[in-house]
Structure 1
Amino acid sequence: MMIKDQGRPVIEFERVGKRFGETVALDDVTFSVEPGTVVVLLGLSGSGKSTLLRQVNGLQQPTTGTVRVLGEEVSITRGRSLRALRRQIGFVFQNFHLVGPSTVLENVCTGLLGSLFGPRLGLAMYPRSVRRQALEQLDRVGLADRAFQRADTLSGGQQQRVAIARALVQRPKILLADEPVASLDPESSAQVMELIREIGAEDDLTVLCSLHQVELALDFADRIVGLRSGAVVLDRAAVGLSREQAMEIYGSVGAQPETAAEPARPVRVGQPALAG
């Protein structure tokens, strides 16, 4: 499946609401993400960041509004079409979700299970081409020498690198990352975010990442979308945004979204301008 219109955003939220019973998780969320940019969702735990990410690949459905990804309306996409869409969306989780006793290489190979038929029990059950692709991605994240090591013997930062390689092996157009450094120390956090940004630039990936660390968001994002109680309270380019302005996300209950006076300018040269 190809992007239907190269000129349109790759992710679009239009007045999206999500409720769990009486709890409002997303409240009238409207924003879009341009191709090849790094957008960080910033906000407190419980602000709706994870819920928003799960709307993108159809893990959850909106209660109201519309989510479009690569030109497809996610909530009405089913069966083979939904599986094809999900193969273009990599997901990196906070807690890695690796199979500890399995080798690093086998964990990365599982990223291609969606394109294979039948179960795979053990590394030898994967085609040679899949193992080669997995090893290539491990090399990109600096862990090719750990390919046959048990995943649960790695450090937290190394395990997250394996999780990134697993997401990348499917050659996605979009990379979602849900608090990918929440359980890491500051040095490892910076290394993982730098890796995500570098690979995003190399592969022309669109990255949508949730964080709660303001400094990391300002360092690595092209654009910041701030969430508070499920609503967007800030949406603007990271360039020129101060830490103090970003911190207002955490205390601006009921505030209207702040937008840049001019179209937001992404950090990387050659990418399309972002809407403020």
Structure 2
Amino acid sequence: MLPVHSVSHPHSNAEVIRFTDVTKRFGENVTALDSVSAEFQPNRITVLLGLSGSGKSTLLRHINGLQRPSAGEITTLGTRVDLAGTGQLRRLRRDVAMIFQHFNLVGSMTVLENVCTGRLGSLRGPRMGLFMFPRTLRAEAMEQLARVGLADKAFQRADTLSGGQQQRVAIARALIQRPKVLLADEPVASLDPVSSASVIDLLTRISHEENLTVVCSLHQVEIALGFSDRILGLQGGRVVLDEETADISPEDAYSIYDRVANPASVADESRFEAALS
């Protein structure tokens, strides 16, 4: 059994995100989050580390209201997410960008158009085709593509790119939102080691340049230790480790994987998360 590290949550007026006793249940038998309390400070990279089904993706999706808690309170950028209406969530999501494991690009669109769609939440009316987006936005999208090293791919279909390139397009799409918070749900799980390293290096550089608050779920301990300022370890929906990365040994990090509380619950939650991704 994993020895649970002391988990403290000192109050800070500077936190960007706060979870207070958050529980999420799927049906009667699956508890995806179990009384989670945690704070996320500005301009820092927090990695959520744990097995599939440990609650990482569920926690991420509560930050911007893609899922609502069964109990507890969540505040993101001053908005009570658990109480927010549709309009409040729409405004919040302009400031909270998200990167997904499977990129979520529209393959038949050009790379440039995919990046422009990152600003749809701030535009009025439908946008059908690249030239329906304002010229200034197209120019900014090109700048973001240059930033991730893909300006030369701007007019290719997104589905012609490699996995690593598609994830860099997704990062450019997130950045064009000008977010304050960046959520990344297993951003390198579908990539080879070289592409993974490239994407993590890019996320690190951009998070520092933009002073972003980053919350990222990962499986890979080595990447987490090299990427994060802080690690939040989850097991069976509970926080079992919450430490500064500099204070964690590899053995501490790997110990998160020693045990899973309820294999049936893990399988059920994984199915729910897959259906919602």
2:32 to 25, 35, 58: 25
Provide the residue aligned with 1:218 in structure 2: 225
| In the alignment, structure 1 residue 43 sits paired with structure 2 residue 33 | no
1:98 to 105, 112, 118: 105
**Counterparts of residues 177-188 of structure 1 (less than 5 Å):** 177-188=184-195
Match of 2:240, SS?
A: strand
**Partners of 2:134 and 2:74 in 1: CA distance:** 35
**Partners of 2:171 and 2:110 in 1: CA distance:** 15
Provide the residue aligned with 1:148 in structure 2: 155
Q: Between Structure 1 and Structure 2, how many residues are aligned?
A: 249
| In the alignment, structure 1 residue 8 sits paired with structure 2 residue 14 | yes
1:124 to 125, 131, 136: 131
**Partners of 2:182 and 2:108 in 1: CA distance:** 26
**Partners of 2:187 and 2:79 in 1: CA distance:** 26
Amino acid at match of 1:107: N
**Partners of 1:16 and 1:81 in 2: CA distance:** 20
Contact 1:233 1:252 in 2 (8 A): no
**Partners of 2:125 and 2:140 in 1: CA distance:** 19
**Partners of 1:147 and 1:59 in 2: CA distance:** 30
**Partners of 1:118 and 1:71 in 2: CA distance:** 28
**Partners of 2:13 and 2:179 in 1: CA distance:** 19
Q: Per-residue displacement from partner, 1:35-80 (whole Å, max 9, x unpaired)?
A: 0000000000011000000000000000011111011110111133
**Partners of 2:213 and 2:194 in 1: CA distance:** 24
Q: Which runs of 5+ in 2 are unaligned?
A: 1-11, 262-277
Structure number with greater CO (CA < 8 Å, separation at least 6) is: 2
**Partners of 1:41 and 1:227 in 2: CA distance:** 7
Q: Extract structure 1 runs of 4+ deviating beyond 2 A.
A: none
**Partners of 1:118 and 1:253 in 2: CA distance:** 47
**Partners of 1:16 and 1:90 in 2: CA distance:** 22
Provide the residue aligned with 2:264 in structure 1: none
**Partners of 2:196 and 2:202 in 1: CA distance:** 10
**Counterparts of residues 157-172 of structure 1 (less than 5 Å):** 157-172=164-179
Q: Per-residue displacement from partner, 1:134-193 (whole Å, max 9, x unpaired)?
A: 111111111111111111111100000000100110100000000000000111111101
1:253 CA drift (Å): 5.5
1:252 CA drift (Å): 4.9
**Partners of 1:27 and 1:213 in 2: CA distance:** 23
1:84 to 86, 91, 96: 91
**Partners of 2:30 and 2:95 in 1: CA distance:** 31
TM-score of the aligned structures, taking structure 2 as reference length: 0.88
Provide the residue aligned with 1:239 in structure 2: 246
Provide the residue aligned with 1:173 in structure 2: 180
Match of 2:124, SS?
A: coil
Provide the residue aligned with 2:199 in structure 1: 192
**Partners of 1:17 and 1:23 in 2: CA distance:** 11
1:8 CA drift (Å): 2.0
**Partners of 1:139 and 1:80 in 2: CA distance:** 33
**Partners of 1:240 and 1:74 in 2: CA distance:** 31
Which is worse superposed, 131-140 or 245-254? 245-254
**Partners of 2:218 and 2:204 in 1: CA distance:** 14
Provide the residue aligned with 1:108 in structure 2: 115
TM-score of the aligned structures, taking structure 1 as reference length: 0.88
1:82 CA drift (Å): 1.8
Match of 2:257, SS?
A: helix
Provide the residue aligned with 1:139 in structure 2: 146
Amino acid at match of 1:125: M
Q: Per-residue displacement from partner, 1:204-246 (whole Å, max 9, x unpaired)?
A: 0000000000000000000000000100010001113221110
Provide the residue aligned with 1:73 in structure 2: 80
Which is worse superposed, 79-88 or 99-108? 79-88
